[in-house]
Amino acid sequence: MKKFVVVLFIIMQIGTAFAESHYTFELKKDLIIGSAAVGVFAAPFFINNPTSVPDDFEKDTINNFDRPLMYSYNGQIDTVTSIGIYGLLVLPALSLAGNIKDFNAIAAYGIMYAEAFLLIYGTKDILKSAINRYRPYCYSGEIPGDQSSEYEDSFPSGHTSLAFMAAGFLSSTFLTEYPDSKWRIPVVGISYSLAAGIAAGRILSGNHFLTDVIVGAGIGSLYGYLIPALHVKRSGSERITLTPTINGFLISVKI
Q: What is the DSSP string of 184-243?
A: HHHHHHHHHHHHHHHHHHHHHTTS--HHHHHHHHHHHHHHHHHHHHTTBPPSSS-SEEEE
Hey, is 101 helix, strand or coil? coil
Q: Going residue by residue through the chain (255 aa), what tens digit of pLDDT does each one get? A: 444 444 444 443 444 445 678 899 999 999 999 999 999 999 998 887 766 666 678 888 899 999 999 999 999 999 999 999 999 999 999 998 888 888 888 999 999 999 999 999 999 999 998 888 999 998 987 777 666 667 888 999 999 999 999 999 999 999 999 998 899 999 999 999 999 999 999 999 999 999 999 999 999 999 999 999 999 987 654 455 555 565 555 665 554
| pLDDT of the residue at 125 | 94
Q: How far apart are CA 38 and CA 170, in angstroms?
A: 22
| pLDDT of the residue at 235 | 64
3-state secondary structure 118-186: HHHHHHHHHHHHHCCECCHHHHHCCCCHHHCCCCCECCCCHHHHHHHHHHHHHHHHHHHHCCCCCCHHH
| pLDDT of the residue at 248 | 57
CA 119 to each of CA 37, 203, 239: distance values in angstroms, whole numbers, following the listed order: 5, 24, 22
Q: What's the distance, CA 59 to chain centroid?
A: 29
Other CB atoms within a 10 A radius of the CB of residue 1 amount to 5
Q: How far apart are CA 110 and CA 207, in angstroms?
A: 31
Q: pTM for this structure?
A: 0.84
| pLDDT of the residue at 5 | 41
| pLDDT of the residue at 67 | 94
Residues 92, 170 contacting (CB under 8 angstroms)? yes
Domains of the chain plus CATH, in order, are 26-45+68-143+151-253 (1.20.144)
| pLDDT of the residue at 16 | 44
Determine phi and psi for 24, rounding to 5 degrees.
Answer: -150, 170
